[in-house]
């Protein structure tokens, strides 16, 4: 064997020995895991790759190198992660038995408790918001009942009917405050009116909804400037609209049975209110005269801010005009017919209930079936003549 052959054989044997040594300390999986560490594109992916390498290759060819790099990175990673739950969870995932594992676990438990308390507070706040929303919806649903109840009590508490309106206001603080509040009344020499309304929608099977409006006209009638009558007028067969709003059920006015049910429901709401405020009232027979439309116009635009009746929002309309609280004679207002008025013969309303208490007469009425006018439902309170005068008028000649 010549010298060249000997050198080649020696080189081959050396390479084979080295290859066999590498095979003892490394394998394809070990190298692949290490390669993932070297080729990591970000610090996060490199940390993941190193943790995975140690887990899969605790005695791998590059385990000492990887452990050394992880030990150097650990304090930096912990310092950057210790203020957040996500950061601490990440640290514990990468270093389950690390130098700061105990501190990290304690801090994570504390932050988790804080977050739990915060979640409870947010849930409670959400419940409060939902309760408030429900309260608002309930307040709107009971709009008609609250308005009728409030104004019935206010009007029946007035103790000087037949007096000039300014005097009535001065001597009845609750009345003065309520009538002077928004929406401000519009007045002529014969009447002062507060216009209220609320918009609502009724769900209808087969349709999304039907939009509706419930209006309430609170009208004070004046005779020579004196308060002689007060009316709560619900136009467009308002008892039906009131029933719809409160019961969330559609009322077809053309259906006599459905319309009658709405009237009886409204009567059942009103009479207890009147009985509560006029405990000594007695029933009387009455035939109410036709209800003529307002002689002052309704406001054309809503005013900013909402008015309240007894703490209940009932309108956005706040027309300008004199008020009894100002103590001045009612100012005149343009005499425009309200938009609700429809031309046609005025029909006698249907008397539903008549009550008399001392010098006041209270009548609850509903629009007649053939009434082509706005079809007022409602009630009025008026100064009644002394009973002896009524008896004289009723006596035969």
Residue 249's CB is within 10 A of a number of other CB atoms, namely 14
Q: Which segment of 140-144, 271-275, 393-397 scores lowest on mean pLDDT?
A: 393-397
User: Total structural domains in the chain?
Assistant: 2
**Per the domain annotation, does 126 fall within a domain?**
no
Position with higher pLDDT, 67 vs 347: 67
**Per the domain annotation, does 131 fall within a domain?**
no
Q: Is 215 left (phi over 0), alpha (psi -120 to 50) or beta?
A: beta
How sure is the predictor about 369, in pLDDT bands with cuts at 50, 70 and 90? Answer: confident
Q: Do 157 and 97 fall within a single domain?
A: no
pLDDT of 389 reads: 47
Which tokens belong to 150? Answer: 């409030």
Closest CA to 219 of 165, 268, 172, 262: 165
**Per the domain annotation, does 124 fall within a domain?**
no
Q: Please compute the mean of the pLDDT values over residues 81-93 and round it to a whole number.
A: 91
H-state helical runs in the chain:
3-25, 28-38, 43-56, 63-81, 85-94, 101-141, 143-156, 165-171, 173-180, 238-247, 256-277, 387-394
**Per the domain annotation, does 330 fall within a domain?**
yes
Residue that the structure tokens 């419940």 belong to: 127
Q: Do 108 and 148 fall within a single domain?
A: no
How sure is the predictor about 370, in pLDDT bands with cuts at 50, 70 and 90? Answer: low
Q: Do 258 and 146 fall within a single domain?
A: yes
Q: Do 224 and 295 fall within a single domain?
A: yes
Residue 210 has pLDDT above 90, yes or no: no
**Per the domain annotation, does 238 fall within a domain?**
yes
**Per the domain annotation, does 193 fall within a domain?**
yes
Q: What is the pLDDT of residues 115-132, one digit of tens each?
A: 888 888 888 888 888 878
Q: Please compute the mean of the pLDDT values over residues 334-339 and round it to a whole number.
A: 38
Position with higher pLDDT, 393 vs 117: 117
**Per the domain annotation, does 285 fall within a domain?**
yes
Range of the domain at 31: 3-113
Residue 250 has pLDDT above 80, yes or no: yes
Q: Do 77 and 195 fall within a single domain?
A: no
Say what the pTM is. 0.62
pLDDT of 337 reads: 38
pLDDT of 253 reads: 83
Q: Do 159 and 223 fall within a single domain?
A: yes
pLDDT of 146 reads: 93
Q: Do 91 and 147 fall within a single domain?
A: no
Q: Do 352 and 207 fall within a single domain?
A: yes
**Per the domain annotation, does 267 fall within a domain?**
yes
Q: What is the DSSP letter of 109?
A: H
Q: What is the pLDDT of residues 276-312, one digit of tens each?
A: 999 899 999 988 888 888 888 776 534 333 333 333 3
Q: Do 198 and 290 fall within a single domain?
A: yes
pLDDT of 18 reads: 39
Residue 10 burial (CB < 10 Å; 0-12/13-18/19+)?
Answer: exposed
Domain boundary among 64, 98, 113: 113
Q: Which residues contact 36 (CB under 8 A, 6 or more apart)?
A: 49, 52, 53
Q: Do 93 and 168 fall within a single domain?
A: no
């Amino acid at each position: 064997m010549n010298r060249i052959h000997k050198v080649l054989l020696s080189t081959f044997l050396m390479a084979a020995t080295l290859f066999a040594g590498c095979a003892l300390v490394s394998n394809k999986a070990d190298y692949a895991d290490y390669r993932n560490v070297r080729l990591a594109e970000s610090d996060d992916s490199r940390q993941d790759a190193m943790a995975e390498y140690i887990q899969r290759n605790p005695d791998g060819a590059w385990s000492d190198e990887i452990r050394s790099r992880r030990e150097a990175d650990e304090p930096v990673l912990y310092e950057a992660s210790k203020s957040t739950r996500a950061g601490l969870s990440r640290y514990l995932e990468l270093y389950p038995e690390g130098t700061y594992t105990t501190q990290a676990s304690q801090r994570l438990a504390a932050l988790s408790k804080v977050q739990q308390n915060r979640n409870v507070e947010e849930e409670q706040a959400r419940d409060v918001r939902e309760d408030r929303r429900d309260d608002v919806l309930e307040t709107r649903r009971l709009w008609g009942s609250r308005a009728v109840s409030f104004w019935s009590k206010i009007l029946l508490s007035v103790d000087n009917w037949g007096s000039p309106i300014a005097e009535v206001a001065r001597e009845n603080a609750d009345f003065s405050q309520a009538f002077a509040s928004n929406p401000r009344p519009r007045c002529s020499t014969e009447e002062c009116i507060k216009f209220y309304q609320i918009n609502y929608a009724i769900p209808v099977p087969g349709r999304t909804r039907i939009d509706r409006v419930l209006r309430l006209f609170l009208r004070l009638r004046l005779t020579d400037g004196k308060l002689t009558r007060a009316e709560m007028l619900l136009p467009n067969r308002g008892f039906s609209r009131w029933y719809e709003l409160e019961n969330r059920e559609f009322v077809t006015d053309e259906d006599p049975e459905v319309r009658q049910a709405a009237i009886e429901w409204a009567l059942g709401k009103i009479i207890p209110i009147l009985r509560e405020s006029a405990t000594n009232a007695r029933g009387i027979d009455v035939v109410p005269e036709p209800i003529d439309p307002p002689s002052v116009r309704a406001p054309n635009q809503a005013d900013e801010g909402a008015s309240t009746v007894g703490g209940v929002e009932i309108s956005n309309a706040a027309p300008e005009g004199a008020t009894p609280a100002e103590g001045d004679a009612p100012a005149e207002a343009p005499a425009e017919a309200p938009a609700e008025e429809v031309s046609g013969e005025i029909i006698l309303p249907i008397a539903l209930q008549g009550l008399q208490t001392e010098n006041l007469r209270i009548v609850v009425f509903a629009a007649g079936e053939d009434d082509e006018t706005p079809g007022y439902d409602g009630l009025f309170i008026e100064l009644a003549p002394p009973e002896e005068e009524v008896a004289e008028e009723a006596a035969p000649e």
